Amino acid sequence: MITAEQKPLDEIRGTISHFRRILVLGCGSCVAECAAGGEKETGMLASALRMAAKMEGKEVLIHEKTLERQCVRDFIILLDDIVHEYDAVLSLGCGAGVQAVADMFSEIPVIPALNTEFLGETRDQGLWVENCLGGGDCMLYHFGGICPLARCSKHLLNGPCGGSVEGKCEIDPEIPCGWQLIIDRLEQHHALDRLEHVYPPKDWSKKQGGGPRKIIREDQQR
Amino acid sequence: MVQERSRKGGGTKKNELTLALFYCQNIPESGEGERQALEKKHGSSLRLFPIPCSGRLDPIHLLRALEEFADAAYVIACPEGACRYFEGNVRAQKRLDRTRDTIAQIGLERERLGIVVNAKDNPRGLGSVAEEILDRISGLPPSPVFGKRKVAKERRS
């Protein structure tokens, strides 16, 4: 899941201040799960912005709508009939959603209302944690299903470092040491021998070394 | 619908403000009869919204109330440890705090939103708590959300 958090209202208001007809556009997927850009949050933001406009005596039209996914054109196309009624779209999608909507309606400014954060997991109610960097060459097998690149603060492939204290990271004692987790897990799986291998530096060419990535699946295409 | 209220003079009389009051239906004397009687007594100053538990309260309820008609929005919750659904009242408090942060960011007073947690030993009825909240908000000025619009309307006419 892609996680995000809403930008401060001041910043959002600054970016939309010169528009008079605004569509606040939510996304019902990842950002709804992390309570940043779903239907509820879209309604709240739109309501707060309408109140702020009224307090300033501005005549601003602010409507709200939530797409099931802002990063899929089959859903974005549902805006076709309404989007031209607005001067700008204020998107509560992740960065991918904002750009997908902007690419489809390039004549209308699409403004981000969220800061996209990381690929992560819903660990508990109200708690999201980063656990994937999208490296393009998954190594989880070797590390017992715990990614050292995402969960070790120093991204060490051959850890641990000397700063692990009682299972916590020296960067922040609130953060579990990723390498302690890896060792514990591999021990549980009777697979500690995997750590005898020395891993070469990560091949980042499979992440963004070759520029923006894409996946092509002919069997999925029209 | 925005209620008609006098904006003249320095002070604000209790009945010039509109309170949106969300209340847990598990508090005493909060049946439909009591609700109707209270709304009849206070007229447009009090709008009551029964909810099955204060945990059902969502920030959007509070914001929409402030946006559309209310000068203040409050919730009445059961005492901590006495929620029929275990932690609805705790959640209501957290949601209220977050919504207060939101309205503060647009320049509205945090005091326009509030929660009253009923007493554990001798819980009060809806009417008594509602009166207390109406008193509490009586010092607030009318909401600026409606003020500017009203001024603009008067200038046009």
From first to last of its 222 residues, chain A has per-residue pLDDT tens of 999 999 999 999 999 999 999 999 999 999 999 999 999 999 999 999 999 999 999 999 999 999 999 999 999 999 999 999 999 999 999 999 999 999 999 999 999 999 999 999 999 999 999 999 999 999 999 999 999 999 999 999 999 999 999 999 999 999 999 999 999 999 999 999 999 999 999 999 988 888 889 999 999 998
Task: Provide the CA B87 distance to its chain's centre, in angstroms.
Answer: 21
CB-CB under 8 Å, B60 with A43: yes
The pTM is what? 0.90
| Complex-level ipTM | 0.86
CB-CB under 8 Å, A9 with B66: no
Two tokens, residue A146: 């715990």
A60 touches chain B (CB under 8 A): no
What mean pLDDT is reported for chain B?
87
Nearest to A55 among B59, B60, B145 (CB): B145
CA dist A69 and A54 (Å) reads 31
Q: In which residue are the tokens 């660990």 written?
A: A123
Question: Considering the domain boundaries, does residue B134 fall inside one?
Answer: yes
Instruction: Count Cα neighbours of B49 within 13 Å in the Cβ-side half-sphere.
Output: 17
Identify the pLDDT of residue B152: 46
Distance from CA of A59 to the nearest CA of B (A): 9
Nearest residue of B to residue A10, measured between CA atoms: B105
User: What backbone phi and psi angles, to 5 degrees, belong to B93?
Assistant: -60, -45
Residues of A in contact with B148 (CB under 8 A): 54-57
Question: Considering the domain boundaries, does residue B8 fall inside one?
Answer: no
Q: Where in chain A is the domain with CATH 3.40.50.2300?
A: 2-118
Among residues B88, B89, B95, B86, the alpha carbon closest in space to that of B118 is found at B89
CA distances from B130 to A174, B80, B125 (A): 43, 19, 9
Identify the pLDDT of residue B71: 97
CB-CB under 8 Å, B151 with A51: no
Identify the pLDDT of residue B52: 96
* Dihedral, CA of residue A98, residue A103, residue A108 and residue A110, to nearest 10: 10
Two tokens, residue B128: 């008594």
A129 touches chain B (CB under 8 A): no
CA dist B48 and B134 (Å) reads 12
CATH of the domain at B124: 3.40.50
CB-CB under 8 Å, B146 with A54: yes
- Neighbour-count burial of B16, counting CB atoms closer than 10 A to its CB (0-12 exposed, 13-18 middle, 19+ buried): buried
Distance from CA of B37 to the nearest CA of A (A): 31
Range of the domain at B132: 14-156
CA distances from A183 to A164, A189, A193, A194 (A): 12, 10, 10, 10
- Neighbour-count burial of A204, counting CB atoms closer than 10 A to its CB (0-12 exposed, 13-18 middle, 19+ buried): middle
Number of residues written out for chain A: 222
CB-CB under 8 Å, B148 with A47: no
CB-CB under 8 Å, A10 with B60: no
Residue A10 and residue B101 in contact, taking contact as beta carbons nearer than 8 Å: no
How many domains is chain B built from? Answer: 1
CATH architecture of the domain with residue range A2-118: 3-Layer(aba) Sandwich (3.40)
Residue B70 and residue B5 in contact, taking contact as beta carbons nearer than 8 Å: no
CA dist B122 and A137 (Å) reads 63
Two tokens, residue B42: 């206070």
Task: Give the type of residue at B143.
Answer: S
Question: Considering the domain boundaries, does residue B3 fall inside one?
Answer: no
A215 touches chain B (CB under 8 A): no
CB-CB under 8 Å, B152 with A57: yes
Task: Give the type of residue at A115.
Answer: N
Residues of A in contact with B147 (CB under 8 A): 55
Nearest to A51 among B60, B67, B151 (CB): B67
A51 touches chain B (CB under 8 A): yes
User: Which segments of chain B have a pLDDT < 70?
Assistant: 1-15, 148-157
Question: Considering the domain boundaries, does residue B142 fall inside one?
Answer: yes
